Structure 1
Amino acid sequence: MTPLEWVLQLVLLLMLAAAIPFALRLERALREIRRDRSALDSSAQGLGEAARMAEAAMVRLRASAELAGRQVAERTATAEPLRDDLRYLIERAEALADRLEGLVRAGRPLTNDAPRAEPAPLQSQAERDLLRAISLGAARTAR
């Protein structure tokens, strides 16, 4: 072997010795990438499972909301006639209250000094009940 060949082989040996630490660092980095890749794959599977569960929950939630909407609509439809009946009864009650107030005012004496006229004999139980209610109402308001 010639001295040139020895020099070339020595240079090659030094280059190989310099490449070994780089190869070791590369091997460690590849090992970490493989480990991270398996963790990433398991995370992706977990994410896919979570997405499927979220979709199923969303479908159940939508079905529950539709059912609740139908129930509210049914109850509203049932309540509307009752509301109309109550409105009618309130209007009638107000009219009757106005009439009763007028009768109470008419039944009260204008002054306490005026002689009271004897009431005419009552003809029905309803008239007697009305007179009793008027007198009780007048006594309560006087207190």
Structure 2
Amino acid sequence: MSMLEWLLQVVLLALLGAAIPFALRLERSLREIRRDRSAMEGSAQGLSEAARMADAAMVRLRASAELAGRQVAERTAAAEPLRDDLRYLIERAETLADRLEGLVRAGRPLANEAPRAAEQPLQSQAERDLMRALALGAGKAGR
């Protein structure tokens, strides 16, 4: 072998020796990338499972919301006649209250004559109730 061949082989050995640390670093990096890829695949599977579970939860939530909406609509529909009945009763009560107020005002002058009327026995429970209401009204008016 000639000197040139020996020199080329030494240069080649030096280059191979310099390449070994780079090859080791490259191998470690590739190992980490493979490990990270498997972890990423596991994460992707976990993410897809979470997305599937979220979709299922949204379907259940929609079904619950629709059921609740139907129940509210049914109860509202059932409450409508009751609301109308209550409005009618309130109107009737206001009318009766106005009539009663008019009777009380008309009966106040008679309340002053109540002691004379008390001498006569009252005929019915309604008369006794009216006299009691008049007496209470006159007592409150005097205060």
Q: TM-score band, normalised by the shorter chain?
A: 0.7 to 0.9
RMSD of aligned residue pairs (Cα, Å): 2.3
The match for 2:19 is: 19
Answer yes or no: is 1:2 the counterpart of 2:2. Answer: yes
Greater Cα offset, 93-102 or 119-128 = 119-128
The match for 2:130 is: 130
The match for 1:49 is: 49
Deviations 1:31-89 (CA, angstroms, capped at 9, x unpaired): 00000001001000100110111111111110000000000000000111101110111
Runs of at least 5 residues in structure 1 that lack an aligned partner in the other structure: none
- What secondary structure is seen at the aligned counterpart in 1 of 2:109? coil
Alignment length, in residue pairs? Answer: 139
The match for 1:72 is: 72
The match for 1:59 is: 59
Q: Higher helix share goes to which structure?
A: 2
Q: 1:90 to 1:133 in 2, by over 3 A?
A: same
Rounded Cα–Cα distance in structure 1 between residues aligned with 2:71 and 2:136: 48
Amino acid at match of 2:97: A
Deviations 1:75-131 (CA, angstroms, capped at 9, x unpaired): 000111101110111111011111111111111129x6xxx3866997765444334
Amino acid at match of 1:87: R
Rounded Cα–Cα distance in structure 2 between residues aligned with 1:141 and 1:85: 35
Question: Structure 1 runs of 4+ off > 6 angstroms?
Answer: 120-123
